[in-house]
């Protein structure tokens, strides 16, 4: 006597259902993993942006406060009792000082931008790390330290904005006093 024994294996319907369930599960897993992988590079971008902004901010801060302030002559800050010359009204590079190596005071950097960044000629080995970063600088008088431009000439607000390769922007700000 012969009994019908069930065959071993899967039917076509079982295979199709299995593939559909597996596909749904993989879609859910990848929808969680892929955004996380994209975000994992953000801290690297942010650290590099901070390094770039810090280097440029240090360069700017090392310059004289104003065209009419000359610390080497010990004449004091512009507009003071020891230096009757008023601080410059218009910010930005002086006539003929459009090149970065000719910037001699803080406000010469107003409107300065760097694309496809190299901070100096010796940093060619870092060109790939910072190739898609962009920097822009704005300098404004802000004598009351409230973050908005005004006419009081006793302090300048220096803002360095870094655009990272993912097109996010990070701004770094510092004050430079007239001393």
What is residue 31's predicted lDDT score, i.e. its pLDDT? Answer: 84
What is residue 163's predicted lDDT score, i.e. its pLDDT? Answer: 93
| Closest CA relative to residue 112, chosen from 176, 155, 50, 59 | 59
Q: What is the mean pLDDT of residues 24-42?
A: 78
Q: What is the mean pLDDT of residues 16-45?
A: 83
Assess contact for 153 and 130: CB atoms under 8 A: no
Order the strands of the 155-163 sheet from edge to edge: 113-115, 134-141, 155-163, 169-177
The pTM assigned to this predicted structure is 0.70
**Domains of the chain by residue range:** 39-177
What is residue 68's predicted lDDT score, i.e. its pLDDT? Answer: 75
pLDDT per position as a tens digit, 114-132: 876 555 555 566 667 788 8
Q: With residue 143 as reference, give the H or E element that holds it.
A: none
What is residue 105's predicted lDDT score, i.e. its pLDDT? Answer: 85
Give 117 or 177, the one with higher predicted confidence: 177
Whether the predicted pLDDT of 86 surpasses 70: yes
């Amino acid at each position: 006597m012969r009994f019908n024994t069930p065959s071993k294996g899967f039917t076509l319907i079982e295979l199709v259902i299995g593939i559909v369930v597996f596909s749904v599960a993989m879609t859910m897993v990848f929808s969680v993993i892929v955004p996380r992988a994209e975000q994992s590079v953000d801290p690297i971008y942010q650290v590099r942006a901070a390094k770039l902004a810090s280097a440029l901010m240090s360069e700017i801060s090392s310059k004289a406060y104003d065209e009419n302030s000359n610390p080497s002559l010990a004449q004091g800050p512009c507009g003071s009792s020891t230096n009757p010359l008023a601080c410059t009204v218009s910010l930005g590079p002086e006539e003929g000082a459009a090149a970065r190596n000719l910037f001699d005071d803080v406000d010469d950097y107003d409107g300065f931008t760097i694309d496809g960044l190299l901070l100096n000629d010796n940093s060619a080995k870092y060109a790939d790390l910072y190739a898609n970063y962009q920097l822009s600088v704005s300098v404004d008088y802000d004598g009351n330290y409230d973050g908005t431009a005004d006419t009081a000439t006793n302090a300048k607000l220096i803002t360095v904005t870094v655009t990272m390769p993912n097109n996010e922007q990070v701004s770094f700000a510092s004050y430079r006093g007239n001393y």
